[in-house]
Structures are given as C-alpha cells and as structure tokens.
Structure 1
C-alpha cells in the first residue's frame, strides 16, 4: 500500500508539471526530484525542453540530478540531438550539473559552436566540467574559434570557460591576440588578463585590453 501511495504521489506530481501555474510546476518538480522515481526521467527531460520559467527549469535540472547518472546521462545525450535549442541547452546544463565524464564524447564541436548563443554557452560550461585532462588543449583550440562572438554576456561566458582551462588556454589566447579582427584581439587579451588575475572583473579586463591595443597601435605609429 505504501508503494502504491508513493506511485500515486509521483504521478500526481508529474501531472503538476503541466500546470498553467509556474508555482505549481515548481512544487511539482521538487516533489518529483524528492521521490527520485526513475520512471519520471523521460517526463523531466521533455519538460526541460518546453518549460518557460527559469526557476522551474532549474528545479527540473535538480530533479534529474537526483536520479542515477546511468539512467539520466544516455537520455540527456539523446536530447543533444534535438532540433529545439532549449532542449539542447537544458540537456547540456543538466549534464554539467551531473558531472559524469562519460558524457564528454557527446560535447561535439557542433555544440560548442552552435549558432544559438544559449546553447553554445551551455556547451562551454558543460565542456570545461567534463573534459578529461588530455582533452583540455584541444577544447581550448575549439573555444578560441569563438572569441569575439556575441554580446557582453556571451563573451564573458566564453572567457570564464577558457579561464577554467588554465594554462591549456594560454597558447590559443596569445595566438588570437594577433588576430586581424580587433574584436577577437580584444577578447583574447581580456581573457588572458582574467586568467592571470581571476579576481579582476570581465568588464575591467576588457577595458585593460582596449588600453593595451591603443598603446600598441601608438607604438607602431611611432
């Protein structure tokens, strides 16, 4: 009887994930994660792909981390092939929270360079969590191809990922600091500045990079 009652509660919570109220969906995701019934994994992943509320999505991710990675990781990897950017992004975000390095081969160059900024940012975060030691230099090379991309928030996310790779990122950053595109050079210089001084904010590092570029241009003119 107790088992049946738990199953009923889980089913009720899963139904609550489809409520029109974000607060009801939030409580439902909490209940599903607390129960940690493996039969709810598919529904949780499906909801991640369509859930409009950030806080509910975060709770859905938490609920998925409550399950065995042997169950969740293969299904999350499958979601990386979805046509929906949100499905890809949330699957990547959840994989970064699960932290199971068996998912590393699924973090492809296509995801790291995805045209959707949110997907790409999620891929960068997941990659630096999952990458094995012998893959750090190769990952840095791929990430460096994205220097100068997007708005401030996207560039800051990329810088954080490169900084997380430590010394493996230094060669690609120094190479990018001589790129013909000023936007790429500025981002590379700012990222290396941040690598050397992690306490410096990204905005400060960008301003420093601008100053360095101006001084460099002046020196060449002289």
Structure 2
C-alpha cells in the first residue's frame, strides 16, 4: 500500500508518516519499481500502535522504546504518565481557579487584571510579610474576589497575616460567609477554627446565626471561640459555654469579660450570678476553680453575687478570700 492510501486510511498525514520513518518508528517494508514507499499490513499495524501509544501522552521517543525494547515493562511508564497527568490537571485547575477569580472581580481594564494577578501571587508567596501586604491592600481597595480571601484565610498559619486576612474579609461584606460556613464543616480542625475566627469578625445577623450553630458543634475550640463572640454580641445562649471556659481555665479572663458584658442586661445579671454560684458549689473542692469563678463575679451585679462574695471572703483558700473581700469593698464603695 502506497503512502497516500496509508495516510487516507489511517488518518496520519503523509508528512507525519515520513517523520515517523526518519525517527525509525515505522519504516515501510519495501519500495515500488519507481521508488515509492510501500507499506505492508504489518507496517500499518505498527502505525496504529504508534498512534495508540501517542494518545496516552507518550513522547515519540517513549513510543519507540515501548515498541522496540523486548525487556520494556509498561507498568512504570503508565505510573509516570498518571503522575504527569495529575500534575498537569492540578496546574490547569489552578489556572482555571485564578481565571475565575479574576473574572469575579470584574476588572475594567488590563491594569485591574494585572493588579489582581499580582495580589493573588502575593497571597501564595512564601513570605509572610508579602502575604500580609496583599491582605491589607485588598482590605483597603477591595480588589480581591472574596473566594480568594476565604481560601487564603482558611489555610493561613501566620497569626499576623491571618488577622489582616480576617480584616479584609470583614470589609468585603456578606459574600464570604457562605464559604466560611463550609469551612466550619471541614474535617481539618485548624480550618474549622480559622473559619469561626473569621466569622466572629463579621458584624451582622447572618454571622451571628452561624456562630450560634458553631456553639453546638463537636469541636470544643470552635465552641469556645463562638461563645466569646456571641457573648460580646449580647447573645444569652453563650452563657453556659462561657462559664464552662472559666471552670476549665480556657481563656477564662476573656470569658469573664464576656459574662460581664452580658450581665449589663438586668434580665441576665441575676441569672448569670445564680449560674456562677451554682458552679462554685459544684467545684468547691478545687481551689483554682473557686479562684477563677470568684474573679468572674467581679462584674456581675445583684444580691445573689454579693451574698456569694460574702461567703467566699471566709474561704479557706487565702487567694479566694482576699479576692472576694476586695470585690466586696469595691461594691460597697459604689
């Protein structure tokens, strides 16, 4: 079969067939009397083998090795192809994500596009200082799409950069809350905790609703962060978790401050005082717990709290007694 007919039947151009011949991949078995290339059925079968291997992503050199080396084992080559394909997919996915984010920012010109690209590259930098500058720049100018900010926030380890990113997110509006809510469901504890910290800095009702959901979750660190944020927002449901934090000695000073904020509401002050006194009774054997709970009574008004301080001023633990006595004097001076 002559080269023109081979090209027509195989779909491989005559030019490519000549290239295969020059590389030694497919050599026509013979020549006609006029010197034209003549391919046998075996040659044509090899052409199809070459094309099949090329479709898997093999280079022409790898195709030649696969077809001509008797000791060649395909398993290692296939493993390499799988690895290379995954790497290529990852690169293409990253490019797609970047393009989508640029599109979401609705740039008005190439200057905007270049600025967004520069900020995205800075957020992925190994330099914490560069990431922080990018976050602060986005907070001031609102130039980054919220998806990029959320992704960067949920994976950021440096506390200074994380703070700048949370600030940028809080200024970006409500768009990031749905993505942060997904972060609360992450199987990775650190991602859940970064998500709740970011939600806590968004001052709106939808964020408060997400924090209330986090308050009932299984991650104790997430619950505590949500309780502190809800306490500052005046949400009474946070009170039990805040008292637990004081008993456990986990951010107990911040928890006591949040209780003091909540107790400013007359309808809550007595309830909080009663709950603290109840926990004092439950933890009476542990002096360190009594000390923390006594300190927490400082900003809780009401007769219940005053009576409890009077009893604590006679406590066997000197630190508890001195703290309670001091707090009683402050109340009497008011």
| TM-score normalised according to structure 2 size | 0.51
Question: Quick check: 2:228–2:238 contact (8 Å CA) kept in 1?
Answer: no
Q: Secondary structure of 2:138's partner?
A: helix
Deviation of the 1:41 alpha carbon:
1.4
Question: Quick check: 2:123–2:152 contact (8 Å CA) kept in 1?
Answer: yes
Structure 2 vs 1, CA of residues 14 and 212 (structure 1 numbering), >3 Å: closer, same or farther? farther
Q: Deviations over 1:70-128 (max 9, x none)?
A: x12222222222233332223222222221122223223334x7333xx4442223212
Question: Quick check: 2:216–2:223 contact (8 Å CA) kept in 1?
Answer: no
1:87 and 2:191 are equivalent in the alignment? yes
Q: Secondary structure of 2:216's partner?
A: helix
Q: CA RMSD in A?
A: 3.1
Q: Which of 160, 177, 183 is the equivalent residue of 2:257?
A: 160
Structure 2 vs 1, CA of residues 213 and 3 (structure 1 numbering), >3 Å: closer, same or farther? farther
Aligned length: 196
Structure 2, unmatched stretches of 5+, are 1-106, 302-310, 322-334
Question: Quick check: 2:246–2:255 contact (8 Å CA) kept in 1?
Answer: yes
1:141 and 2:141 are equivalent in the alignment? no
- Distance in 1 (alpha carbons) for counterparts of 2:233 and 2:188: 23
Structure 2 vs 1, CA of residues 23 and 142 (structure 1 numbering), >3 Å: closer, same or farther? closer
Question: Quick check: 2:260–2:299 contact (8 Å CA) kept in 1?
Answer: yes
| TM-score normalised according to structure 1 size | 0.73
- Distance in 1 (alpha carbons) for counterparts of 2:182 and 2:315: 44
Give the structure 2 partner of residue 104 of structure 1.
208
- Distance in 1 (alpha carbons) for counterparts of 2:207 and 2:123: 27
Q: Secondary structure of 1:52's partner?
A: coil
Structure 1, unmatched stretches of 5+, are 197-208
Higher relative contact order (CA 8 A, sep 6+): 1
- Distance in 1 (alpha carbons) for counterparts of 2:108 and 2:241: 52
Give the structure 2 partner of residue 206 of structure 1.
none
